[in-house]
Amino acid sequence: MDKLIIIKYGELSTKKDNINFFIDCLNKNIKLAVNDLKLMTKFDRGRMFIMGEEEQLNKAINALKKVFGIHEMMIGYKINSDQMPDIEQTLVTLLKEQEFNTFKVETKRSNKAYPGTSLAISKHLGGIILKALPNKQVAINHPELLVTIEIRKEGTYFYYESIPGLGGYPVGVQGKGLLMLSGGIDSPVAGYLAIKRGVKLAAVYFESPPHTSVQAKNKVLKLAKILAPYNNDIKVHIINFTKIQEAIYQNIPRDYLITIMRRMMYRISAIINYNMKGHVIINGESIGQVASQTLASMKAINEVVKIPVIRPVACFDKLEIIRLAEQIGTYETSILPYEDCCTIFVPEHPVIKPSITKCLAYEKLIPYEELIYEAVANQEVIKVVAKEEKEVHPLL
């Protein structure tokens, strides 16, 4: 008897014309997620089978829990026989180990030449279980244990254990997007939600040394590391923002510091996004959370780019975002206390209803196009990989 994982696709089944593209993408993602394990994968009739040794399968399940597009994983067992006595014996052996009171057997025969109807086989096997295991009852409507038996030409499959997948779309099916990753609580959550809908992310981080520290940058890379398994690795573009930020600080009226700074960040993000052939910018803005995130501010800031800016957590309360961050596992890292670009040079009273006319006028005071060009040209790109590098430090 061999153990195996059967992967069921979720929302994908609603896609009609594109389904093959979606499934190909998911299969590729699944293979990437488990490519360090010794496994055999097989695609068949809208499902995927993964076979291997128990320990490897357990590792695979953990890896697949981070793959979007998987609706459900079933733990199954296979025997290389379709003979009724073998099926009966295996079924009893498997169910002996399970704790349940009520059950139901469902049979599928892809081999329609197999004698008997599916219903008749189910009834027969249900009877076998009742006879072999004491105190069990059949429940047609809400069984505690639903045992599915699939009789095929090459053998028989049994499955009854289900592990929920993440759902969503396979990452990449929607093309690419650029996440503005700050190191706070909101932006990693925003990134996660975008990946969930199939957006393959890259990230941009603005650093301002010496006003911001290496620790702050490492924190952002750590956050990227947590997102990486969902995204099949993630590229982080690091922009040195010091000159721009200092120019803003020296020339722009205090109440517009943040507005203009965000406009610069948007402009830079749009360029990176264009260069990587992305479609959208994604960020962690939440309506009204801070002065630069009021609707008026969003309008004044958003005005500098022509591509869509998606704000997945725009309508979430802070506590809702925190809850998600805890689920994803980014919260503990996000709350490490390091200064980032948005927390230095903060004016006491930032404008909450900025005017676009004023923004344009103030921006004439600094040679921002040159500075932006320089910042983008000097960007550092770090590829944060999903898989743990197993290299031992030479001193360790």
Partner 1 sequence: MIYLDYSATTPVLYDVLESYNKASRDYIGNANSLHALGVKSKALLDSATKQISELFNVEEQEIIYTSGATEANNMIIKGIAFAYKNRGNHIIVSKLEHPSVYVICEYLEMCGFKISYVDNDEEGLIDFEDLKRKIKPETILVSICGVNSEMGLRQPLKTIRQIIKKENPNTFFHSDITQGVGKIPINLHDVDLASISGHKIFGPKGIGMIYKAEKITLTPIIHGVSKNTSLNPGTPPLPLIVAFSKALRIALDDLDKKENLIKRLNDKICLEIAKYDTIKINKTRYSIPHILNLSLMSIKPETLIHALDEYEIYIGTNTACSSGELSNAVMAVYGETKRALTTVRISISAITTNDEINKFLKAFKEEYEKLSKTSH
Contact between 213 and partner 1 per CB under 8 A:
yes
Contact between 389 and partner 1 per CB under 8 A:
no
The minimum distance between CB 212 and partner 1, in angstroms, equals 12
Contact between 395 and partner 1 per CB under 8 A:
yes
Interface positions, 214-243, toward partner 1 (CB under 8 A): 214-215, 218
| Complex with partner 1: residue 120 or 214, whichever CB lies closer | 214
| Complex with partner 1: residue 36 or 88, whichever CB lies closer | 36
The minimum distance between CB 213 and partner 1, in angstroms, equals 7
Contact between 392 and partner 1 per CB under 8 A:
yes
Q: Which of 235, 238, 234 is nearest to 386 (CA)?
A: 234
The minimum distance between CB 210 and partner 1, in angstroms, equals 10
Distance of CA 327 to the CA centre of its chain: 12
Contact between 393 and partner 1 per CB under 8 A:
yes
| Complex with partner 1: residue 214 or 381, whichever CB lies closer | 214
CB 29 within 8 A of CB 39: no
Q: Which of 152, 153, 134, 52 is nearest to 96 (CA)?
A: 134
Contact between 140 and partner 1 per CB under 8 A:
no
| Complex with partner 1: residue 154 or 380, whichever CB lies closer | 380
Contact between 62 and partner 1 per CB under 8 A:
no
Binding mask of the shown chain, residues 352 to 381, with x at each position contacting partner 1 by CB under 8 A = ------------------------------
The minimum distance between CB 382 and partner 1, in angstroms, equals 15
Q: Beta-strand (E) ranges in 321-367?
A: none
Tokens of 371: 């500075």
CB 52 within 8 A of CB 78: no
Task: Pick the binder of partner 1 from 40, 315, 319, 396 (CB under 8 A).
Answer: 396
CB 382 within 8 A of CB 279: no
Total chain residues near partner 1 (CB under 8 A)? 8
Residue partners of 320: CB distance under 8 A and separation at least 6: 313
- Residues forming contacts to partner 1 in the complex (CB under 8 A) are 213-215, 218, 392-393, 395-396
